[in-house]
Amino acid sequence: MPWFISIFLLFLMYGLYGGLVLAPADYQQGESYRIIYIHVPAAWMSLFIYMVMAVNGAIGLIWRIKMAEVVAISSAPIGAMFTFLALVTGSIWGKPMWGTWWEWEARLTSELILLFLYLGVIALYNAIEDKRIASRAVAILLLVGVVNIPVIHYSVEWWNTLHQGPTVTKFDKPSIHISMLLPLLSMAVAFKFYFGLGLLVRARKELLHRERNTSWVRELLLDE
Amino acid sequence: MNSIMEFLNMGGYGAYVWSAYGITFVVMIIAIVIPLRQHATLRKRLTSQLKRKNQS
């Protein structure tokens, strides 16, 4: 655990220093563009975590593996958090650059739907007492919701959006300078480690709750 | 001193940039602290339940 946290902090420190201090200002947006170093990694995480959940949901549905169910539901609050942060930091960035906090356009709306999907998953899980059944219901909802993921990703290409197009995830060379790209990627790695950390903490709690009546939990608790 | 003020000012966008970073880090810390505390509470509750059962 300590080394895990150390790697997270290392990437975070470099990402923040490189992004806020070393990288030059943007030629169009000036210093305001520096919100990119949290906004874009948070948005990437919102999609990444959803896919992690959908895959684990499917594994739980097909092979009935308990651990996959636990991973799927334990990721949900972290995914919801990153989606929320992507929306909020985007809104704060949008105000000075677009002149509005919010616009009902494709990228923003589909990301908002993603937030509702996450909240729906959490609510559905909490509504069903039997957690094995709850996990199966959640997995089905997750798989249906996957349809939203390509919509979010391609929204800036399919529709004429206010949101700018992709700068990094393009097949040709990314249209971003290396001094801006490196801290951005570093922040993305840091957020991945944060997800690992948050998942560990939540999965532990979820497992303890689910297995509270088993002998191994009883032995574990009485041993101290 | 001047360069620090300049850094915080962020070319006039300081309020936007720093509020975005501030909200992000506060939320990220809370999102770790809450499950840690929930885990500790659950553990305590289960342990005391078990001990009570063992005594009776």
Query: What is the helix (H) or strand (E) element at residue A223, kind and residue range?
Result: none
Q: What is the mean pLDDT of residues B15-44?
A: 97
Give the model confidence (pLDDT) of A37-50 as tens digits: 999 999 999 999 99
Query: Which is more confidently placed, A197 or A28?
Result: A197
* Partners of residue A93 in chain B, C-beta under 8 Å: 16, 20
Q: Which residues contact A180 (CB under 8 A, 6 or more apart)?
A: A19, A23, A24, A36
Q: How confident is the model at residue A44, as a pLDDT?
A: 97
Angle at Cα A205 formed by Cα A201 and Cα A211, nearest 5°? Answer: 140
User: Is the pLDDT at A89 greater than 70, yes or no?
Assistant: yes
Residue B37 CB neighbours (<10 A): 11
Check whether A175 has a pLDDT greater than 80: no
Q: Choosing among B3, B8, B9, B17, which should be mutated to test the A contact, i.e. which has the most A CBs within 10 A?
A: B17
How confident is the model over A107-123, as a mean pLDDT? Answer: 97
Write the single-letter amino acid at A31. Answer: E
Tell me whether A9 touches chain B (CB under 8 Å).
no
Average the pLDDT over A60-81 and give the result: 97
CB-based contact A11:A186 (threshold 8 Å): yes
Q: Which residues contact A188 (CB under 8 A, 6 or more apart)?
A: A40, A41, A44, A45
pLDDT of A96 above 90: yes
Cα(A156)–Cα(A94) distance, integer angstroms = 15
Can you give the C-alpha Rg of chain A in angstroms?
20
Question: Looking at this protein, which amino acid is placed at residue A200?
Answer: L
Nearest to B42 among A32, A93, A208 (CB): A208
Nearest in space to A12 (alpha carbons), one of A197, A224, A210, A216? A197
> pLDDT-based confidence at A173, cuts 50/70/90?
low
What's the pLDDT tens digit per position in A184-208?
A: 999 999 999 999 999 999 999 999 9
pLDDT value, residue B1: 66
**Does the pLDDT of residue A171 top 60, yes or no?**
no
* N- to C-terminal Cα separation, chain A: 21
The residues, ordered by sequence, that sit 6+ positions from A108 with a Cβ below 8 Å of its Cβ are A87, A90, A102, A162, A163
- Rounded Cα distance between A172 and A179, Å, is 18
H/E stretch holding A218 reads: helix A215-222
Find the distance separating the first CA and the last CA of chain B, reported in whole Å.
Answer: 68
| Residue A161 or residue A106, greater confidence | A106
HEC letters along A90-158: HHHHHHHHHCCCCCCCHHHHHHHHHHHHHHHHHHHHHHCCCHHHHHHHHHHHHHHHCCHHHHHHHHHHH
Q: What is the pTM of this model?
A: 0.94
The pLDDT confidence band at residue A161, using thresholds 50, 70 and 90, is: confident
DSSP secondary structure code for residue A22 in this structure: I
pLDDT of A170 > 90? The answer is no
3-state DSSP call for residue A172?
Answer: coil
Q: Does the pLDDT of residue B56 top 80, yes or no?
A: no
Contact B50 A202 (CB under 8 A): no
- The residue of chain A with its CA nearest to that of B38 is A205
Backbone angles phi, psi at A26, to 5 degrees: -75, 145
Q: In percent, how much of chain A has pLDDT > 70?
A: 97
B17, B42, B43 member nearest A34 (Cβ): B17
Q: What is the mean pLDDT of residues A25-42?
A: 93
Separation CA A2–CA A150 (nearest Å): 36
At A26 the three-state DSSP class reads strand
